Amino acid sequence: MGFDGEAQLRAVALRVTRVRVAVLAAVREHPHVSTGRVISLVRADHPTVSHQAVYDVLRALTGAGLVRRIEPAGAAARYESRVGDNHHHVVCRSCGAIADVDCAAGHAPCLTASGGHGFVVDEAEVVYWGRCPDCIDRSANSEGSR
């Protein structure tokens, strides 16, 4: 089944606009995309769209649960369309690449907090840090050429 941004917007009672559909498509087609990249992607087809309009749409889509905002420590906010499954992320310390990692325990919220202080936990956010295969290969190649 293909992408139907209009139906997704209607399903969460958001008014359908060309900018909302374009932003939703950009996030869907480019997982873990930055706000700046979303602006560039949207402006490729809609050059008069303002930065503020894209920020407003991202906020509305996030609030409606159509996109998820992630903020790895020390990195700019990123957006993805994979929502509702409480998955996690792995981030490369060298280049900043981000990839999805399925839930550690198989069901949300994935982790049981020890001593939850009376909170009812419904979501867990885990970020794994390391180096991606490309950065490892580059490092190995640069060491081998010495």
pLDDT in tens, 60-78: 999 999 999 999 888 889 9
The class (CATH top level) of 5-70 is: mainly alpha
Task: Please report the pLDDT score of residue 118 as a whole number.
Answer: 82
CB atoms under 10 Å from CB of 98, counted, come to 20
The residues spanned by each domain of the chain are 5-70, 84-144
The ranges of the chain with pLDDT < 50 are none
Out of 3.30.1490.190, 3.30.60.50, 3.40.640.10, 3.30.1380.10, the CATH code matching 84-144 is: 3.30.1490.190
CB atoms under 10 Å from CB of 122, counted, come to 8
Dihedral of the alpha carbons of 132, 78, 71, 127, in degrees to the nearest 10 = -30
Which pair of structure tokens corresponds to residue 64?
């409606």
pTM of this structure:
0.82
CA separation (Å) from 43 to 49, 96, 101? 6, 24, 31
Task: Please report the pLDDT score of residue 119 as a whole number.
Answer: 82
